[in-house]
Amino acid sequence: MRASRLIADRYEPIKLIDQGGMGDVFQARDIETDEIVAIKFLKPDVVADDPALVQRFEREAEALRQLHHPNIVSIYATGEQDEVHYIVMEFVSGGSLAQLLQREAQLPIERVLMIALDLADALTRAHRLKIIHRDLKPANVLLANDGSPRLTDFGVAYLDDRNTRMTQTGSLLGTLAYLSPEVCSGGGYDERSDIWAFGILLFEMLTGERPFLETTPAGTITAIMTKPTPDLSQMRADIPMELANLVYWMLAKNPLDRVPSVRTVGAELETILRRLSERDAISSEVARAVPPEDESRFATTPIRPANLDQLGLGQSPLDSQVQAALNQTNQTPTAGGSSLPQITSLSSSLSDVLPRRRVTAPRVVISYRRDDTGAITSQIFDQLASVLGASNVVRDADRIADRTVTRLVIASDIVESYDAMVVVIGPQWAAGGALNNPKFHVRMEIEAALRRPDMVIIPLLVDGATLPRPEDLPASLQPLLAHNAFQLNSHAAVAPQVARLINQIKRTLNVRRVLWRRPVVLAVIGVLIALLIFSGALMMSGSQLPLAANAPGICGEVEPAEPDHYMVLVADLEPIQTEARDVARFIADDLRQNLEVAAPFSRINIRRCPAVLTSTADAQAAAEAVGASVIVWGNYTEALIDVAVEIGTLAGFPNNEMPRVLLEETVNVRIRLQDERQQSVAVPALSALTALQNADGDGYEVARSVTVLAALTGDPGEIVGSSIAAQVVRALWFFVNDTETTIAHLDDAIQVRAGNPILFAFRGAAYHRVGRLDEARRDLQTAQRLGESMGLRRWALPHFLLGNDALFRDDLDTALAEYSRVIELRPDDWFGWNYRGAIHYLRGEFEPANADLLRAIELGPDTNFPFPFATLIALREGRISDARALMNTVITEFPDPSFSNRMIDALYGPDTPLIWGLVFSAFTNQLLGQHDQVIADTTALINVNASLADAHLMQGVAYCNLRDYAAAEIAYTAGLEIEPDYLLIAALRGETRRARGDLVNALADAARVTADDATTAELIALVEDPNASCENFFDLDSESS
């Protein structure tokens, strides 16, 4: 029909040029003008399945009507003919950018810049009209014959003046690899999500690769949210540093740190082109196409972040400006030229006489209201971090999860860790009454700072704000008015103003240190005189004053580990007959990259000790002094680096009862490196922590560490010797990829020390992973007996593993008994409660299961383990709103929902008969809207355990979302055959039957639900609501229905 009939009596279709899920695109001829056009038709069968797509189609037409721009596909007409909707638009003959990248993976720098410049102009137009594209990718960029781009496919565009949002629960519009972190975590789309996708597009044009693409949807989402942007200079040598820095800025994980607008992106691209032109790095033709700065099409002042190192690589152009301004600044400004009222301090200047910690670089916390001064605070933070160091500046305390935001946490952090607080005050700072709320994060931060009289507190007034009146503040905040304020003009250059602010902070700290010294100066002089006399006497007698190298404090001031984190301390290495080089920096940077950045769930902090240690005794003393669980030290020659990885303090392992000598023979190892830049000690450092967590009986932390180990790559260097510790490191290194080799290394270690229970626990876990169950149980029972013979009364790890062993054998009674023992030994550990709750669930004991799972959640897990089973129990009990709340918690509080799946795979392998991984995977994919994968997961789950009605429930919901209602009905019916009283399944089957037109049986299912005494009000609302479906029933508001 389309190929033979005129459209709107004017457009003659010629040929099909593209097909998509929504519709087809034809090349056509306008018979009135003889112009070639493109016509997009919406498929009738798609409309029949989902009438809402007509609204999306019309929204694309509406967006294109508003966007008159040379780099956006023009629209000529819209309409409906023979019940088929269509849009007539500009025909762009050069194919798409995606097709170009298939032919030419890495585009020339000139072409990348010119395409990006035009796209920035197009998006600037769209954003000015409050239209968000939301699906920016190469396939949606068409190329004209002259190579210029045309932005198209605004079918998922969001018009800001609309009140409707055309998405469904569980679905993510747009192509996954281009989604921003905030969208992946459930947030909304805005200009910054388009900027992120634009950054991915730039990265792909430059390198031919998408930076965060993984092999699975869950892996891609995890990479987007956690992995750093790859180093562009390592992927392509000719990328200008300015362009690489812009890409890193566009791909900042935190949208507040991202480029503030597409207009700024365009201005930066023009600046880069001008600089390349000045260096004759581009052709004269391209150079002529770039307008002079005063004729820019992006008339704005570019705002670069002050520390691009935090976003990616390279140095920020503003770093030198800030430092230069600091060097030129000699006196504190008088509040920007205006006079501020001076309020007499109510504390009688106690801060002038109190002692302070030794301060080399001030540590500054920024307190602010995001709705008041969010944008300018981002610039202030970047400037402070670029000068003082990123680790010395902190903000966004309100982003901590609600359950951990307490006065104690915030107060402790500020009081113990920071020297100064900058309180950013804008015009709305005291508005709305928020400061009257004792739990408001700004109030808690300032109250904590005011409780420490020696802390520098500076109210920073921006955008013409003034200090509030005392009556506008609660009594606890009124002392803030006694502190001298500093004014900042956000419309002037920020860098020199922040430089003056830093000088004010430093001067105040220095003055206080001098005032502190006055009362004790005579005592200090006396001590010095005594030391001089004593030293002179030693020199006269031919003796030397010994250096207390192993005294606590040898490392100086080391930043403490975060609460509930393990510290790995890296000391400076000793040069042996070679020139000194910073070997320790490369070792520490590698550890930080592998154990912190690439594994943000690890709870490991890497810290530096700026001192050389030459013995195990020195290393242990240094670690004890700063609270390090593991310490790395050693020496190097020109050709080799000898590194010791050893136990530090055991304070972080409160349940450990094993003697230190046994732990040292299991942990302390020597590693030999040839190149500190290419080789890593991450494996031995993590192996040390894993062994200590084993001794502590902490099953979850052992599992977490094994999961981190599974992700480690690279060259671990030479593990020196055949000691027990060396065999343990080799064993754990091969645990995931070659478990039989792991067993062989543990065999060797056990031959040397058959009385070490840690070795048998590790080997038992390895036997489990390869399905050698009898040998696994034998080793775990041996570990338990050895522990009892050593008097280990609190060692819970054998019970964890024996509980899993019983699950492998489908012995739920033994599994329940073992996990009950775990709870007796570790009553405050959520992991034991979680597992016992899951076992109750498998036994069909839903009431105790729910009680245990809720207890696990109450204890504050940092992964989503308890939530899938707790959600399924809520569903079977008809508590739809409770289930929805649990799922929302997973999405909002656990940004890596696939972590539990990876942990199961790391511990037991992808082919484990345990159902946990399949349940977690099906649950996670259901939340992500990956319904095909849910079907695969539940099919595998049913093959392992066909008696789980919830597996059929999840499978039915997945089929229903895919509109395969026949398959959904079969899945629901199978679930009801297992559990006839599972009312939610009956309700959902009725909805599916209604969708199939089987109204008689649909009404029968509805009557079955409403007539049952166990039916909840939410279930009744579900069956009575004509708009309820498998796609939205989690969103039903039980109160309103």
**Residues tagged active-site:** 135
Place of tokens 């039989």: 740
Distances in whole angstroms, Cα of residue 449 to Cα of each of 180, 300, 480:
35, 38, 10
∠793-799-803 over CA atoms, to 5°? 165
What the block records as the tokens of 306 is 């002050």
DSSP letters for 837-867: HHHHHHTT-HHHHHHHHHHHHHT--SSSTHH
DSSP letters for 345-375: -TTTTGGGTS-----SS--EEEE--HHHHHH
Query: What distance in Å separates the CA atoms of residue 21 and residue 963, rounded to the nearest whole number?
Result: 15
- Asked if residues 634 and 643 have their Cβ atoms less than 8 Å apart, the reply is yes
Q: How many CB atoms lie within 10 A of CB 171?
A: 11
Place of tokens 């199978």: 974
* Residue 7 β-bridge partners: 11
The 3-state secondary structure of 152-206, one letter per residue? CCCCCCEECCCCCCCCCCCCCCCCHHHCCHHHHCCCCCCHHHHHHHHHHHHHHHH
Q: Give the strand pairing for 75-81 and 669-673.
A: unpaired
Phi, psi of 226 (to 5 degrees): -125, -30
Q: How many helices (H) and strands (E) does the chain have?
A: 41, 21
Phi, psi of 374 (to 5 degrees): -60, -45
Place of tokens 């680790």: 391
- Asked if residues 40 and 87 have their Cβ atoms less than 8 Å apart, the reply is yes
Query: What distance in Å separates the CA atoms of residue 480 and residue 455, rounded to the nearest whole number?
Result: 12
What the block records as the tokens of 364 is 């500054």
∠191-194-198 over CA atoms, to 5°? 135
3-class state of residue 1020 by DSSP: helix
Distances in whole angstroms, Cα of residue 894 to Cα of each of 225, 400, 716:
11, 12, 31
The region, left, alpha or beta by phi > 0 then psi within -120 to 50, assigned to residue 939 is: alpha
Structural element, H or E, at residue 985: helix 983-996
End-to-end distance of the chain based on CA atoms, in angstroms? 47
Cα–Cα nearest to 717, from 690, 668, 743, 684: 684
3-class state of residue 870 by DSSP: helix
Q: Where are the beta strands (DSSP E) in 854-915?
A: none
Cα–Cα nearest to 922, from 954, 881, 947: 954
The 3-state secondary structure of 39-90, one letter per residue? EEEECHHHHHHCCHHHHHHHHHHHHHHHCCCCCECCEEEEEEECCEEEEEEE
* Residue 26 β-bridge partners: 16, 39
DSSP letters for 515-528: HHHGGGHHHHHHHH
Query: What distance in Å separates the CA atoms of residue 997 and residue 1018, rounded to the nearest whole number?
Result: 24
Residues 6+ apart with CB under 8 A from 95: 142, 143
What the block records as the tokens of 335 is 């509040």
